[in-house]
Amino acid sequence: MRALVTGGGGFLGGAIVRQLLERGDEVRSFARGEYPELTALGVDCHQGDLRSKEQVRAAVRGCDLVFHVAAKPPPWGRREDYFAVNVLGTENVVAACLSEGVQRLVYTSSPSVVGGTEDVEGADETLAYRTQWSGAEYPRSKALAEQRVLAANSPQLRTVALRPHLIWGPGDPHFLPRFLEKARRGELRRIGKRDCLVDPTYVADAAAAHLCAGDRLLEGAEVAGRAYFISSGETIGLWTMIDRLLETAGEPPLEKTVSLGLARFAANLIEGTHRLFRLRGEPRITRFVVQQVTHARWFDIGAAREKLGYQPGFSIDEGMATLMD
């Protein structure tokens, strides 16, 4: 099998690439940057932009399966940028698959496309898309993209969307570094008094879920046209997990706390200042981050276990051990 991984040089994309190679598949990567480490592994690397229909089609050509992982990540950015990359870029991938005769497409979505500002505890895939998007341009764009992928499902192109939650592990460029940098600058604070439960996903498990989905699409259409939550199947308090991650980096646990009300006020003020003065970079705090760290968000992965054959391979403790190696 020849598989294309968009974002193959990234954290999750790279893990998918390595697992495909390990089982003997031919792998092509499509990414904006150059990744000589992938070329050294035998990956056919295509450099380009998701916003270019021609570049996307050239990367898709000759592939049997596409894993569309690349995206503009959270938590901050302009709505038009998120739309151009995450929505129009995804439309380009779907169109390229159809024009080039690719029969299977696995899309990396996000659990943030569902729910809203309330706690989400043990929800399954019947949970509706969120309807309020204030300060949440990333999940808005991912929801639109997911809907386009699922709507494209047909006998010619079987599609599936995965929603891995809080991907983490060795080589993580987002979750741990973001908190670690703020902690070392003395800027990190717990927000509110709740240690809300979350169900993170170890990166190797997130990658394995993608391979499971691709294989099940080959076997039949039963899983096609649907979205599936992916996680470790284990919950932990978010601030407890952050403290454990800080410990692996030799940092002390968090002791300072700010109220939820103050955090919301600061996020609104700082976001407004960034927009008014068109400041570059990411605000020190955003409404999206405040919402994510002050609400429980964990999901029922029974459908992924039953329909995709997905089984988490790493507990949180086992994942933490790999960070200590």
| Residues annotated as catalytic (active site), given as ranges | 138
- Asked whether 232 and 316 are in contact (CB, 8 A), the reply is yes
What is the H or E stretch that residue 276 is in?
A: helix 260-277
Q: Which residues contact 265 (CB under 8 A, 6 or more apart)?
A: none
Burial 168-182 (b: 16+ CB within 10 A, else e): bbeebeebbeebbee
- Asked whether 206 and 12 are in contact (CB, 8 A), the reply is yes
The dihedral over CA atoms of 96, 48, 25, 101, expressed in degrees to the nearest 10, equals: 10
Name the token pair of 18: 């390595």
Cα–Cα separations (whole angstroms), residue 214 to 30, 45, 70, 235: 18, 21, 17, 27
**Rounded to an integer, what distance in angstroms lies between the CA atom of residue 194 and that of residue 92?**
42
**Rounded to an integer, what distance in angstroms lies between the CA atom of residue 94 and that of residue 56?**
10
Residue (of 142, 76, 304, 119) closest to 129 by Cα position: 142
Kindly calculate the radius of gyration of the chain based on its CA atoms and give it in whole angstroms. 19
Q: Return the ∠ at Cα 167 (arms to 12 and 64), rounded to 5°.
A: 30
**Rounded to an integer, what distance in angstroms lies between the CA atom of residue 203 and that of residue 232?**
10
